[in-house]
Amino acid sequence: MTSFFNNVLRQIDEISILLENEYIDKKTFKKIISEIKKPQRIIKKTLTITSDNGKKISFQSFRAQHNNALGPFKGGIRFHLNVNEDEVKALSTLMSFKCSLAGIPYGGSKGGIKVDVSRFSQKELKKLSKAYAKSFSKYIGERIDVPAPDINTNAQIMAWMLEEYEKSVGYKSPATFTGKPIELGGSLGRNEATGRCGVFVLKEFAKKERLVPSKTKIAVQGFGNVGFWFSKFAKDSGFKVIAISDSSGAILNEKGLDPEKLNDYKREFGSFKEIAENKGFKFISNEDILELPVDILVPAALEAVINKDNAEKIKAKVILEMANGPTTFEAEETLLKNKKEILPDILCNSGGVTASYFEWAQNLQGISWSEKKVNEELKKYIVNAFNSVYSLAKKKKFTFRVAANYLSLKRIVDAIILRGFES
């Protein structure tokens, strides 16, 4: 399978061919594209902590900083066994595109620790979080690089990291981390923001395409923070969510599911498989949920779940990407050939980074917004981004991904030129 980062580079190559005609100085344009294809910095560290049983354990950790022409680097920190250099390079690049498209003043970054969190205690995860913040402290900061939660990290982990970072630099800097607890300067509405904004995209798309929500069947692959809130807000908006999955498999009900009830059951039973066994739901595999005959498929977990092995079997008319990079380049070619629409990740899941921007801005100003104001501002940003993508796609007969990438890349290129780029 093509590496995740190479998949992203292919997208840049594809867009740069279309974008080149916008620029008189082709030589400078091509040199700028070459710069954009390389992260500005990749930091790799080995972190060592003492485990609860007194043994020393070491972990690989990473931070990729892609491009800061539009503003400070911004991106999550994930704790996962799949974390590697290729992944953080790809995700930092996508984050640059996402921030550019959303119209917020950031460049992209991404970091992580290669770790299976299920094998470690809270005390050990606290040590690991603090070790990361201390080791990377000179590379991050409110005007340098602003981390946030990602897979298997949360507000508590951001709080531990903030405490260690402030110890390292010797002053208070709440704006260095976003996704923090409210008590430490976190923003109201941020926890739900990614899922909420995905549903803003869903609703705007439904209006444009004249879809009737109650007749629009949706399957959501993934039930973490993003999958849960997307499912809940989609149901609340009148859409029919008929299938949702977690890591154990998926629950299917053609009449529609109640995500809040499923969340309660998950707390009680631990997994969808156990819920199905105890509550009599129909249970299918994670592979099967991707192949259901629904109107909209929402991959909301890990990257590359839609790939060359299953692309031909995808029956959904529209793929709304809530995960980062859930569709491989090869799979996308197949889906487009089969007349499927793809609403891209850098548009659909930009709510989290947009809310993080609001949190950062509040911290820098020493103020706090109401949840109502946060949600109103989120809607403005995401609807504006959606309309820009939709209009360009229709005007130039682009796919939605090409339109989103075109707008994103142009803004980054323009920023680099305005800064006086010299080859």
For the 39-174 domain, the top CATH level (class) is: alpha beta
Q: Which residues of the chain have pLDDT under 70?
A: 1-2, 423
Cα 137 to Cα 18, 87, 165, 169, 363: the distances in Å are 39, 21, 6, 8, 19
Those residues with Cβ within 8 angstroms of residue 22's Cβ, 6 or more apart along the chain or in another chain:
410
Q: Which two tokens stand for residue 171?
A: 């002053």
Residue 7's pLDDT is what? 83
Q: Which two tokens stand for residue 349?
A: 């899941």
Residue 330 to residue 335: CA distance in whole angstroms: 9
Those residues with Cβ within 8 angstroms of residue 69's Cβ, 6 or more apart along the chain or in another chain:
107, 412, 415, 416, 419
Residue 98 to residue 104: CA distance in whole angstroms: 9
Q: Which two tokens stand for residue 67?
A: 């491009």
Topology (CATH level 3) of domain 191-348: Rossmann fold (3.40.50)
Residue 1's pLDDT is what? 56
Each domain of the chain, given as residue ranges in start order, spans 39-174, 191-348
Residue 214's pLDDT is what? 95
Those residues with Cβ within 8 angstroms of residue 27's Cβ, 6 or more apart along the chain or in another chain:
423
Cα 208 to Cα 152, 244, 390, 422: the distances in Å are 36, 26, 9, 43
CATH topology match: 39-174 vs 191-348: yes
Those residues with Cβ within 8 angstroms of residue 366's Cβ, 6 or more apart along the chain or in another chain:
none
Residue 337's pLDDT is what? 96
The tens digit of pLDDT for each residue in 287-337 reads: 999 999 999 999 998 878 999 999 999 999 999 999 988 998 899 999 999
Residue 302's pLDDT is what? 80
Active site residues: 110
Phi, psi of 73 (to 5 degrees): -65, 150
Residue 58 to residue 109: CA distance in whole angstroms: 23
Those residues with Cβ within 8 angstroms of residue 86's Cβ, 6 or more apart along the chain or in another chain:
3, 4, 5
**What pTM did the predictor assign?**
0.92
Q: Catalogue the E-assigned strands of 51-143.
A: 56-67, 73-79, 107-113
* Beta strands across the sheet bearing 41-50: 41-50, 56-67, 107-113, 73-79, 145-149
Cα 6 to Cα 38, 89, 100: the distances in Å are 11, 10, 20
The tens digit of pLDDT for each residue in 61-96 reads: 999 999 999 999 999 999 999 999 999 999 999 999
Residue 323 to residue 384: CA distance in whole angstroms: 21
The continuous run of DSSP H or E covering 36 comes out as: helix 26-36
b (16+ CB within 10 A) / e for 366-376:
eeebeeeebbe
* Beta strands across the sheet bearing 341-343: 282-284, 249-252, 240-246, 217-221, 296-299, 318-320, 341-343
Q: By three-state DSSP, how is residue 381 classified?
A: helix
